[in-house]
Structure 1
Amino acid sequence: MKVTIERLGHRGDGVGPGPVYVPLTLPGEEVEIDEASGAVRIATPSADRVRPPCPHFKSCGGCALQHASDAFVADWKVAVVRAALAAQGLEAEMRPIATSPARSRRRATLAGKRTKKGVIVGSHARASDTVVPVPECRLLHPGLMACLPALEEITSLGASRKGALDLALTLSEAGVDVAVTGAKPMDAALFAALGALAGAHDLARLSWNGELLAERRAPVQRMGRALVSPPPGAFLQATAEGEGALVGAVREAAGGAKRMADLFAGCGTFALPLAEQAEIHAVEGEAALLAALDQGWRRAEGLRRVTTETRDLFRRPLMPDELSRYDALVIDPPRAGAEAQVAQIAASNVPVVAMVSCNPVTFARDARALVQAGFALDWVQVVDQFRWSPHVELAARFGRP
C-alpha cells in the first residue's frame, strides 16, 4: 500500500488519507506499507528528513522526531500553537521559538527491569512494555547519564520479576535526586543495602515508594535568588534553558507590577524570581510544594514579601474580589488548563495575565475566554524544552487595552 503523508498528528506520527498513521514519517513523503507485516519503506523522503543523532532512536520510545530537521520541528511546533488558536478564532504575534539543546534534560523517568541475565535500565520502546537500554542517550543531561550504574544496582535490589520500576531522576545543584516507585516493600536488609548504595554512588537523595530513604544533601534547585529543595518526585521544568525562557517571558509580561498572584505556583518557579520586583501571593493545591517555596524564600536575601495559600483552584478558584488586589497574575495550570479559574479572571478587573501552558489546545480555549472578556492576546512565546518530542510549551501575555 502506498501512502502520501499529509501532516503530522499531535503525537508526531505522519498522517495520510484515511486517516492512516505512520510513525517516523514527515509531510510530503511517499511511503510503502507492507500490509502483512506493517513494515514501512520511505519511497520519497522529505527534504526535512535527517539522520537521527541517537543510535537508540529506532528502538527507544523516548523521542519521536529525531528524523526531522531542527528547523522543521521548530516551525511545526509554532504551527501547532497557531492552529490551536485559529480553532478558537484567535491569532497572536508568535515570537521565535526557544529550543533547549541536546543533553539538557535534567528531569526524566526511566524504567528498571530484572531479567534472567541481569537488569535493564532505560526507556520503554514505542507502544510497548519492553525496556530498551539507552547508554548513549542524546537527550538526558550527562549528570543523569552518570547515574545509570546506580540505577542498575537499585533495580537489582528492588525490582520484582513481574514488573518494572519507575526511576524518577532529577538533577539538582547537590547531585541526583532519585525517587523509586513500583518497588519491593522495604525491610531491614534492603534498607541497609540501599543506604550503602546511596553513599557509594553519591546520590543527593533516594526515596522509595513515596518514603524518604536517604538524604545526604538537600537536592536544591535555584529559582531566582532562592535555593529550593522540592519534595521527592515534585514537578520541575524539564531543562534549565527552558525554565529560563519561560521565566524571562513571564517577567516581561508582568512588566512593572508590584503586587502579583502566582496561581498553580508549585515550588516557586515563577513566584521566587518575580519576588525580586514584586510582592507575591503563591497559590497551589499541594501543601508540600508551598512549604518548599516558603523555606526557599525565607532563606534568600533581597526578595520582597511572599505569602502562600494551599487551595484547590479547580474546585475553589480565586474569585474576582480576591483577584482585584493584584496588578498582574501568573497562571501555570496542568495540561487540563484552568477553565474555572480563567472564568473568574475574566470577570475580574485584573489588568495583566501572564499564562504558561503545556497544552496548546486548553491554552487556546482559556485564551478565548479572556479575549471575550476584553483582554488582548499580545504575544505568544513557544518553548521547546522537550526536544525531539511532540510536546509544546508556551508563555503568553494578556492585557486589557
Structure 2
Amino acid sequence: MRVRIDRLGHRGDGIAEGPVYVPGALPGEEVEGDLDGDRIEAPRILSRSADRTEPPCPNYATCGGCALMHASDPFVGRWKVGIVRQALEARGLPAPIRGIATSPPQSRRRATFSGRRTKSGVIVGFHGRRSDTISRIGGCRVLVPQILAAMPVLERLTDAAASRKGDVALVVTHGRDGLDVAIRGGAELGRDTLARLARIAADAGLARLSLDGETVAQDRPPAQRFGGVRAVPTPGAFLQATEQGQSALLACVSRALGPAGRVVDLFAGCGTFALPVSRRAEVHAVEGDAAMTEALVAAWRGGRGHRPLTATTRDLFRDPLAAAELSGFDAAIIDPPRAGAAAQTAEIAASGIGTVAAISCNPVTFARDAERLVDAGFALDWVRVVDQFRWSPHVELAAAFSRGEKVAP
C-alpha cells in the first residue's frame, strides 16, 4: 500500500488518509508497506521530507524510548508547540506561546528501566515500540553518561532481585552525590538476597539502593538541588527529568508569581518549586505523599535565608483545598499529574487568588483546566513549552494566569 503522510499524531506517528498510522514517517512523505489493520509498521520511504535526519542513536530501530529522532530539532520544536496551540484553540482559548526550551542530548538524569532474568542471562533496557521485548541501550543519546556507565550494575541488581516470572523496574536518578537506584516489583527476598543487593550497591558506590520503597543500602544521602536548595527525595520520587528542564520551569514559575508574598504550592512533591520560592515568599506546600512532604520540610529546615514554609499531606484529587482556604494567598503554583486537576482548579477559580503559575505534562488536560480559570475571569498571559523528553512525543509546559481584581470567595 502506498500513502502520503498528512500530519503527525500525538504519539509521533505519521497519519495518512484513512486514517492510516505510519511510525517513522513525516508530513509530506510518500511511503509504502504492508497494511496491518490501520498501521504500516515497516514503511519504505519513497520521498523524503526536508525535515528528515539520520537518527544518531544505534538503538533507534529497536528501542521504544524515542519516537522522533528521525526528525530535525526545529521540526520537533514546531510540532510540540503546535500540539499545545491546538489543545488551547480547541477550547477557544488564546495561545500566547513564548517559544520552547529543549534540553540538550545526554541530559536525562532520571529514567525507569525494565530488568528481566532469562534462561540465557539478564537484560536491562527500555521496551521496544509496541512490544514486550526489552532493548539494550548502549550508546543512548538521551541519558547522562553516568547512568549509561551503570548498566552492568543494574544487570547485577536485576539478577539478584528479579524472579523468572516477571520484570523489575529500576528507577535510576543521577545527582551530584552519585546514583540513586529504586527497584520496584522484585521477588519476595530473604535476608541473604538483601545482603547481596547491599554488597552490589557498596561495590558500585551507589549513593542509595531501595527496594519497593524501603532502603536496602545508603552510603550517602542522594541529594538534589532545587534552585540551589539541597533536598533528599524519597526513593523513586518524582523528579524533573533534566536539570535544564527544571531550571526552565522554575524560571517560568518565578516570572509568573511576580511579587506575590504568600504562595500556595499544590502537588508540591519534594519541593521543586516550594523550596526556591520560599527564599522570597511565604509558602504553604500541599502534597499527597507523606514521605515527600517530610522530605520537603526537612530540606527547608536545613536551608538558610528562607521565609516561613508550612506543609500539609493531602489528597488534592479527593479533597482539594477549598476556595475559602485558598483566599489567604496571593498566588498559587499548581503542578498536577497527567490527569490534570479539575476539582482543584474549580476551587482556585472560585477563590480570591489573583495569580496562578501552572505546570502541566498534558496539554489536553491543561487546556481543560485553563478554560475553567479563564471563565472565572483569569487571563492566560503566556505559555512556554518545555521539552525535557527530547525526541519523544511527551510535551510539557508552564503558564501564567492573572486577573486584575480579586474575586470574593
How far did residue 212 of structure 1 move?
1.4
Deviations 1:64-88 (A, max 9, x none): 0000000000000000000000000
- Give 1:328's match in structure 2, choosing from 323, 326, 331: 331
What residue in structure 2 maps to residue 268 of structure 1?
271
CA distance in 2: counterparts of 1:338 and 1:81, whole angstroms: 17
Distance 1:292 1:157 in 2: 29
Deviation at 1:188, TM superposition (A): 2.1
Which deviates more, 306-315 or 160-169? Answer: 160-169
Q: Name the SS for the 1:361 alignment partner.
A: helix
Q: Which residue is equivalent to 2:105?
A: 102
**1:224 Cα deviation (Å)?**
2.4
Alignment of 1:2-401 (within 5 A): 2-35=2-35, 39-401=42-404
Give me the whole-angstrom Cα distance separating, in 1, the residues matched to 2:358 and 2:194: 44
Tell me which moved more, 342-351 or 30-39: 30-39
1-structure distance, mates of 2:323, 2:186: 46
Deviates more, 1:215-224 or 1:27-36: 27-36
TM-score normalised according to structure 2 size: 0.96
CA–CA separation in structure 1 for the residues paired with 2:370 and 2:54: 38
User: Closer, same or farther in 2 for the Cα pair 1:254/1:35, shift >3 Å?
Assistant: closer
Residue-by-residue CA offset, 1:177-227 (whole Å, 9 max, x unaligned): 111122222212212211111110000111113321111111111112421
Secondary structure of 2:101 counterpart: strand
Counterpart contact for 1:204–1:219, Cα < 8 Å = yes
Q: Is the 8 A contact 2:81 2:385 kept in 1?
A: yes
Over 3 Å counting, the alpha-carbon distance change for 1:384 and 1:38 in structure 2 is closer
| Bigger mean CA deviation after superposition, 307-316 or 353-362 | 307-316
Instruction: Give, in angstroms, the shift of residue 165 of structure 1.
Output: 1.5
Give the root-mean-square deviation of aligned CA atoms: 1.2
Q: Partners of 1:13 and 1:67 in 2: how far apart?
A: 11
| Partner deviation per Cα, 1:89-112 (whole Å, 9 max, x = no partner) | 011321120000000001101111
User: Aligned partners of 2:54, 2:27: CA distance in 1, in Å?
Assistant: 16
SS in 1 for 2:92: coil
- The answer on whether the counterparts of 2:227 and 2:247 sit within 8 Å (CA) in structure 1 is no
Q: Give, in whole Å, the separation in 2 of the partners of 1:145 and 1:248.
A: 29
How far off its partner does 1:321 sit? Answer: 1.5
**Deviation string, structure 1 residues 230-259 (Cα, Å, up to 9, x no partner):** 111110000000000000000000000111
1:314·1:338 contact (CA, 8 Å) conserved in 2? Answer: yes
User: What TM-score do the two structures reach when normalised by structure 1?
Assistant: 0.98
Is 37-46 or 144-153 further displaced after alignment? 37-46
Percentage of identical aligned residues:
59
**Structure 1 stretches of 4+ moved >4 Å:** none
Letter in structure 1 aligned against 2:391: W
Contact 1:225 1:301 in 2 (8 A): no
2:397 aligns to what SS in structure 1? strand
The answer as to whether partners of 1:111 and 1:165 remain within 8 angstroms in 2 is yes
AA in 1 matched with 2:259: G
Cα shift at 1:50: 0.2
Alpha carbons 1:225, 1:300 under 8 Å: kept: no
CA distance in 2, matches of 1:212, 1:185: 15
Specify the code of the residue in structure 2 equivalent to 1:271. Answer: A
